[in-house]
A = this chain, B = another copy of it.
């Protein structure tokens, strides 16, 4: 009997949007006796809250792209998830599933990228695992990294902690990673993505957010309510998760959100919203109003934060509601992205 479409996993289940949220809540949380829908965070606190742990599988295609590769992505992605709970990543475990026939030279490049990204943040690769599967059983290499870090922020930033009146900040332009991957995969020449001499203008923003996080917590202290890196599902997914977890509403000023002109152009071409596109080196911070200006200044003073902006406010409207005020002064709903956005974006 052929299973009905409702009974099988689709690409949309991995897209970071509504389908993935429902899969996690309805099916996967059953694996745990401690995880709840309300507390789906980037990393979990363990060992009496002194440590944070996060795991992430990386399946990005292509493996090498302007601005990074799967190794850098796998290291930085997990470093960032740990950092979002106000913890300094110290140890990382690397598990690889490799397709038979994979080029050893590509593996070497990936290993060097992991090492370079970890060294830059003082993170130690302490253990690993390698599996090899047949040619038809995987596509290139998949890397799962798990990071453990020591907490330095008190309390730990949490999606549950946003309060009415808090300001919402983003650390830079949105959508660079997703559009870069899409362009590299489809060999699209998106507006401005390459100069005449082949230099890429639109690069992935793939980077560690650790030092930026330290600067934010240094400036804002306990006024830093929530930190979230805007990966799959982009800013829209992050905002909806924070609104759901905190029970607040969030309103964004659309004109305040920084997006590169090339990304706006590509999104118009593709019929996508830059708010829903994945980033790999941008964070969203929810900060108590009295500290928002200081935190914004600290982000802008950081080399990765020149385009940072205050983009919205937490309100006491319908719990979980996220909306944007448009340039015309009207309001539109920002929903959790529906399903498949860009498969294998990370």
State whether B103 touches A142 (Cβ < 8 A).
no
| Residues 137-156 (chain A) with a chain B CB within 8 angstroms | 137-139, 142, 144, 146, 148
Q: How far is the CA of A12 from the CA of B134 in the complex (A)?
A: 11
Provide the residues of chain B in CB contact with A46, threshold 8 Å: 90-91, 126, 148
Residue on B nearest A119 in the bound complex, by CB: B33
State whether A103 touches B7 (Cβ < 8 A).
yes
| Residues 57-105 (chain A) with a chain B CB within 8 angstroms | 57-59, 61, 90-91, 93-105
Q: What interface size band does chain A fall in?
A: 35 or more
Residue on B nearest A99 in the bound complex, by CB: B9
Of A23-31, A159-167, A240-248, A251-259, the one touching chain B: A23-31
- A132 contacts chain B at the CB level, 8 A cutoff: yes
Residue on B nearest A112 in the bound complex, by CB: B30
Residue on B nearest A150 in the bound complex, by CB: B47
Q: How far is the CA of A47 from the CA of B15 in the complex (A)?
A: 35
Q: How far is the CA of A118 from the CA of B130 in the complex (A)?
A: 23
Q: How far is the CA of A95 from the CA of B46 in the complex (A)?
A: 18
Option from B9, B33, B104 in Cβ contact (under 8 Å) with A9: B104
Q: How far is the CA of A100 from the CA of B9 in the complex (A)?
A: 5
Could you pull out 14 A-B pairs where Cβ atoms are within 8 angstroms? A9-B101, A10-B101, A14-B98, A31-B125, A31-B128, A32-B124, A33-B118, A35-B125, A53-B127, A59-B131, A97-B97, A133-B142, A136-B139, A138-B138
Nearest CB of B to A6, in Å: 8
| Residues 1-52 (chain A) with a chain B CB within 8 angstroms | 3, 6-15, 20, 23-24, 27-28, 30-35, 41, 43-44, 46-47, 51
State whether A10 touches B95 (Cβ < 8 A).
no
Q: Given A8-B104, A100-B10, are A28 and B134 neighbors across the interface (CB < 8 Å)?
A: no
Residue on B nearest A54 in the bound complex, by CB: B127
Nearest CB of B to A133, in Å: 5
- A191 contacts chain B at the CB level, 8 A cutoff: no
State whether B130 touches A8 (Cβ < 8 A).
no
State whether A133 touches B59 (Cβ < 8 A).
yes
Q: A8-B101, A11-B134, A31-B118 are in contact. List 4 more A-B contacts (CB 8 A).
A: A9-B99, A55-B129, A58-B131, A129-B144
State whether B57 touches A97 (Cβ < 8 A).
yes
Most buried by B among A9, A12, A111, A112: A9
- A272 contacts chain B at the CB level, 8 A cutoff: no
Provide the residues of chain B in CB contact with A28, threshold 8 Å: 96, 111, 128, 130
Option from B24, B56, B94 in Cβ contact (under 8 Å) with A55: B94
Residue on B nearest A100 in the bound complex, by CB: B11
Q: Given A44-B126, A100-B9, A344-B133, are A93 and B53 neighbors across the interface (CB < 8 Å)?
A: yes
Q: Given A23-B130, A344-B133, are A144 and B31 neighbors across the interface (CB < 8 Å)?
A: no
Q: How far is the CA of A144 from the CA of B54 in the complex (A)?
A: 12
State whether A57 touches B95 (Cβ < 8 A).
yes
Q: How far is the CA of A111 from the CA of B32 in the complex (A)?
A: 9
